């Protein structure tokens, strides 16, 4: 699915290192100077899901296919990006194409790694980035307001849209993000957002990049980031990007032992992937056969015919019914046949809303 997460932040805060670890491939250059990333690096990242492994133990397939999330490593923004500073306009346009922002924030001291603002202050860094997103939205909206004003002279029906846009502009002029605008449920807002793709309306996940000593006990920087995130209704994931990158070179069992030695149950990157998947409003259903056990990515709330279309469009066009076994029932019964015998298979029609973890077969005719 064409939904993505953009990794943003000031230069030299660990974005590309995090991206390298996420993709488990060193295809984003990391260097101790600003703007070492110019073209956005893109990667498709599998979503870790132990349920697939459990299904595979029962079915013994030739391969396992996971759901995925698209991540984009966007070059470092700086103060003034909305007016073109540091190639800002190019970078901001890259953010416009994603649905969720992973805002990496530096929460560690290291004299060997320069900071573009001279000292470590995560709240200042957050304000710089998020103000630039607002300034960029103001620029976009100004153009739209001017266009609506010219059109409204000849078309009275456009006046309401023009007045609504002025309300939103006044909100932004107070340096408030679009996400806090009171009239977001208005159809006129939905139309504006669909056209302009407001940067400050996107879901944000804060990635607090710390040193190893702060993984188990939050340092003062992380505490401040978490307090800010609570105020704006965002999530914070604490990670050490350097350690996460080191984990990439280890086998899965070695990586788990390494995390256990650190006293960590789950890597920060896995938390990021799972959180991003949820923020994108995505879920997975499964197919389980001898050829493959596979997770299929759909949007939460999709009905069975639409969900079938991710396998093949013909499945939606000729949809007859869906055969559904809940994941827990499939595992408890140790397979499809036993689940059928136990009465755990359901036949569902066109109005069935697919649940996360459903094991499904589709019947269709075209």
Nearest to 33 by CA among 114, 121, 127: 114
Q: Which residue has the higher pLDDT, 38 or 276?
A: 276
What pLDDT score does 70 carry? 87
Q: Which residue has the higher pLDDT, 50 or 3?
A: 50
Q: How many CA atoms lie within 13 A of 363 on its CB side?
A: 10
Domains and CATH numbers, the chain: 4-49+66-119+201-279 (3.40.50.300), 301-364 (3.10.20.30)
- pLDDT at position 30 over 80: no
Express as a percent the part of the chain with pLDDT over 70: 89
Q: Which residue has the higher pLDDT, 98 or 25?
A: 98
> pLDDT-based confidence at 77, cuts 50/70/90?
low
What pLDDT score does 76 carry? 58
Q: Which residue has the higher pLDDT, 241 or 331?
A: 331
> pLDDT-based confidence at 90, cuts 50/70/90?
low
- In degrees and rounded to multiples of 5, residue 350 shows phi and psi of -65, -25
Q: Which helix (H) or strand (E) holds 304?
A: helix 304-308
Nearest to 188 by CA among 212, 158, 218: 158
Do 274 and 68 form a contact (C-beta atoms < 8 A)? Answer: no
Nearest to 193 by CA among 144, 132, 131: 144
353: which strand partners? 303
- The pLDDT tens digits of the residues spanning 263-314 come to 888 899 999 999 999 999 999 999 999 999 999 999 999 999 999 999 999 9
The pTM (predicted TM-score) of the whole model is 0.85
What pLDDT score does 29 carry? 42
- The pLDDT tens digits of the residues spanning 317-342 come to 999 999 999 999 999 999 999 999 99
- pLDDT at position 111 over 80: no
- pLDDT at position 140 over 50: yes
Q: How far apart are the first and last CA of the chain?
A: 24
What pLDDT score does 208 carry? 96
């Amino acid at each position: 699915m064409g939904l993505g997460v953009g990794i943003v932040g000031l230069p030299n805060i660990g974005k590309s290192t995090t991206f390298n670890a996420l993709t488990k491939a060193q295809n984003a250059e990391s260097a101790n100077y600003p703007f070492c990333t110019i073209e956005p690096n893109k990667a498709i990242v599998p979503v870790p899901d132990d349920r697939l492994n459990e299904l595979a133990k029962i079915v013994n397939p030739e391969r396992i296919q996971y759901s995925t999330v698209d991540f984009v490593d966007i070059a470092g923004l700086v103060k003034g990006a909305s007016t073109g500073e540091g190639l800002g306009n190019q970078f901001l346009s890259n953010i416009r194409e994603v649905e969720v922002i992973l805002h990496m924030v530096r929460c560690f001291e290291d004299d060997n790694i320069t900071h573009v603002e001279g000292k470590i202050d995560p709240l200042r860094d957050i304000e710089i980035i998020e103000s630039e997103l607002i300034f960029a939205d103001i620029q976009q909206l100004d153009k739209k307001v001017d266009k609506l004003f010219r059109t409204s002279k000849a078309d009275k029906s456009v006046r309401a849209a023009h007045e609504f846009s002025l309300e939103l502009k006044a909100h932004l002029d107070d340096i408030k993000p679009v996400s806090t605008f009171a009239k977001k449920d208005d159809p006129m807002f939905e139309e504006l957002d669909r056209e302009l793709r407001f940067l400050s309306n996107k879901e944000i996940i804060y990635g607090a990049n710390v040193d190893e000593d702060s993984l188990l006990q939050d340092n003062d920087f992380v505490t401040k980031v978490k307090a800010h995130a609570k105020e704006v209704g965002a999530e914070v994931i604490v990670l050490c990007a350097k350690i996460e990158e080191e984990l990439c070179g280890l086998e899965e069992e070695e990586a788990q032992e390494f995390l256990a030695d650190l006293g960590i149950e789950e890597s920060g990157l896995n938390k990021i992937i799972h959180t991003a998947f949820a923020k994108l409003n995505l879920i997975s259903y499964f197919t389980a056969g001898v050829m493959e056990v596979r997770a299929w990515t759909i949007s939460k709330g999709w009905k069975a015919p639409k969900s079938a279309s991710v396998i093949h469009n013909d499945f939606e066009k000729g949809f007859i019914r869906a055969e559904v076994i809940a994941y827990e029932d499939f595992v408890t019964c140790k397979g499809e046949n036993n689940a059928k015998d136990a009465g755990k298979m359901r036949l569902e029609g066109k109005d069935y809303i697919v649940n996360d973890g459903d094991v499904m077969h589709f019947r269709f005719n075209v």
